[in-house]
Amino acid sequence: MSKDRIELRGLRARGRHGCLPAERELGQEFIVDVSLGLDVHPAAVDDDLSRTVDYGTLAGRLVDVVGGEPVNLLETLAERLAAVCLDDERVEEVEVTVHKPSAPVPHPFDDVSVKIFRTARR
């Protein structure tokens, strides 16, 4: 397990995920947190962005997934986001949390989220 982490928290994007027709029609905001496990030492020693994950580029790819093809479940969306993170061969593991703060829950609540942890299979 890698001890170094790159974290991107509170990434906001609009998507049309959910089981209800209104969720697909109107869409809503989703919030994504990712924590990447990788060795950042090579990048730090050389002060070289090309030797680590460019979190700006990663953010764009994650937003594209959230705004892309709708799915029914947050679990499915989280799996897709984890796959994007693990596309980078330097990433050994990833924790992804997908928040759906406007979920159609008929009671007062602060947040609904799904958190998954995946490791690279190389």
- Beta strand 28-37 pairing with 93-99: antiparallel
Q: CA-CA distance, 119 to 113, in Å (whole number)?
A: 20
Which helix (H) or strand (E) segment holds residue 55: the answer is helix 55-67
Of the candidates 88, 100, 102, 120, the residue annotated as catalytic is 100
Beta bridge partners of 5: 37
Q: Are 110 and 61 in contact (CB under 8 A)?
A: no
Residue 75 amino acid letter: E
Nearest to 3 by CA among 51, 50, 46, 36: 36
The yes-or-no answer on residue 100 being catalytic is: yes
Residues that are catalytic: 100
